[in-house]
Amino acid sequence: MNIVVVGASGGIGTALVRQLEQSGHRLFTISRKNPPSDARCDITDPSAVRSTFERIVGDGFAPECIIIASGVFEDDLVPTYDRALLDKNFAVNFFGALNVIDAILPYFLSVGKGHIIVLSSIAAWRPNKRGVGYPASKAALSLAMRGFDLAFRPKGIAFSVVHIGPTNTTMWEGGASFLVASKEKVARCIATLVSSRKATLYAPFFSTMLARATLLIPDRLYMALRKILLG
């Protein structure tokens, strides 16, 4: 399958590219760093995203699946509330992902098939003391994907959202814990979506299941538990 990975220079993105290549897929990679990615593109710039995808399709790489693994976690509450940083979380995590979807959806509709996978977070389910922009942008992304999936799956285009638990990359700023997964493990879970095309995936299963099980307890109690388990 021809797969484009956006955010391929990051921890999970790099592990995912390796995993998918080993399974025999053809990859095209995008991030702001080139190399290691095949194309350099800042996804907050809609015209740059559009021209990057025009070039990919024009050069004969017919994408069948797009994985949006890009993301930022900017602390917009510490040391103090910072609206510009909140906006940055949304510019990359939400509007950046929409820029990618806008750029590829007309092509997928023209060929009558396609698959878009986004990496969301269990942070979308709970407030966070470090920032409001990251959880809010991921919550918006997760909900938007469900809406896209409702509208476009009957037309052959599937939208999948992956709810990811703590993973050992540079983005993770918590401590070491048995609940923090390796990026390779998370990449293996995400790679299964390419053939299953499920609308929702929890990766890895155990930490995300635990996070779901605690959704009934109040935020302050959850934060205290989280401090003990994740540092």
Binding stretches for ligand NAP (CB under 6 A)? 7-13, 31-33, 42-44, 69-72, 92, 96, 119, 121, 164, 166-167, 169-172
Question: Which CB, 92 or 191, lies closer to ligand NAP?
Answer: 92
Sign, CA dihedral 182-185-186-188, equals positive
Residue 112 CB, nearest approach to ligand NAP (Å): 28
Q: Whole-number minimum distance, CB 159 to ligand NAP, in Å?
A: 15
Q: CA 129 to CA 80: how far, in whole Å?
A: 11
CB 99, min distance to ligand NAP, A = 9
Please identify, using beta-carbon distances, which residue of 158 and 164 lies nearer to ligand NAP.
164
Question: Among residues 111 and 223, whose Cβ is nearest to ligand NAP?
Answer: 223
DSSP letters spanning 111-175: HT-EEEEEEEEGGGGS--SS-SHHHHHHHHHHHHHHHHHHHHGGGTEEEEEEEE--BSSTT--S-
Q: Give bridge partners of residue 29 from the DSSP assignment.
A: 5
b/e string for 42-74 if b means 16 or more Cβ within 10 A?
A: bbbeeebbbebbeebeeeeeebbbbbbbbbbbb
Distance CA 186, CA 202 (A): 9
Q: Which of 228, 124, 221 is nearest to 179 (CA)?
A: 228
State in angstroms the smallest separation of the CB of 68 from ligand NAP. Answer: 7
Residue 110 C-beta: closest distance to ligand NAP, Å: 25
Comparing CB distances to ligand NAP, the nearer of 100 and 157 is 100
Identify which of residues 82 and 184 has a Cβ nearer to ligand NAP in the complex. Answer: 184
User: And the tokens for 173?
Assistant: 């700023």
Three-state SS for 31? strand
For residue 176, give the amino acid letter: A
**Residue placing its CB nearer to ligand NAP in the complex, 33 or 198:** 33
Smallest separation (angstroms) from ligand NAP to the CB of 17 = 10
Identity of the residue, 24 or 82, whose beta carbon is nearer to ligand NAP in the bound complex? 82
With CB atoms as reference, the residue minimizing the distance to ligand NAP is 10
- 181's CB contacts (< 8 A; 6+ apart) are 165, 166, 167, 168, 203, 204, 207
Tell me how far, at minimum, the Cβ of 106 lies from ligand NAP, in Å.
21
The residue count of the chain comes to 231
